[in-house]
Amino acid sequence: MKISGGSDGPARLIERLKSCSNHEEKAKSVRELKNQIIGNRTKKLTYLSHGAAAVVAGMMTGSGGSETDVESREAVLIQCGAVLGSLACGLDAGVEAVVDAGGLPILMELVSSSNEKVADVGARSLKLIYRSKRAPKIDFLRRKNVEFLISLLENSATSSVDLGAQLIAHSCTTPQEQQHLADSGIAKPLAALLLAGCDARDSALKSIAALARNNPKFAEAFVAEGNGAVSPLLIRLLADRRNPRTRLRASICLVNLRRRRNSSRTCLGVDDDDLIEVLVDTIGDDAATSDESAALALCDMIDGSEDPKFIVDRLFDRLKQGSVSQNRMRGIVLALFQICTKLNYSKVIKSKP
Q: Which regions in the chain score pLDDT beneath 70?
A: 1-8, 62-68, 197-199, 259-267, 284-291, 303-306, 322, 344-353
C-alpha span between 193 and 226 (Å, rounded): 11
> CA 196 from chain center: how many Å?
20
Residue 288: its pLDDT value, please? 54
Residue 326: its pLDDT value, please? 81
Which candidate, 166, 241, 243, 242, places its Cα nearest to that of 210?
166
C-alpha span between 91 and 95 (Å, rounded): 6
C-alpha span between 343 and 336 (Å, rounded): 11
- Mark residue 252 as left, alpha or beta (left: phi above 0; alpha: psi -120 to 50; beta: remaining): alpha
C-alpha span between 164 and 210 (Å, rounded): 12
Q: Are 211 and 219 in contact (CB under 8 A)?
A: no
Residue 263: its pLDDT value, please? 45
User: b or e along 227-236 (b: 16 or more beta carbons within 10 Å of the residue's beta carbon)?
Assistant: eeebbeebbe
Task: Specify the CATH class of 1-135 in words.
Answer: mainly alpha
Residue 308: its pLDDT value, please? 81
C-alpha span between 146 and 138 (Å, rounded): 9
Residue 2: its pLDDT value, please? 39
Residue 256: its pLDDT value, please? 86
- In angstroms, the Cα distances linking 324 to 77, 283, 318, 333, 352 are 47, 11, 8, 12, 18
All structural domains of the chain with their residue ranges:
1-135
Residue 1: its pLDDT value, please? 34
Residue 104: its pLDDT value, please? 97
What are residue 266's DSSP bridge partners?
271
Q: Please indicate, yes or no, whether the overall pTM of this predicted structure exceeds 0.75.
A: yes
C-alpha span between 33 and 27 (Å, rounded): 10
Residue 294: its pLDDT value, please? 81
Residue 156 in 3-state DSSP?
coil
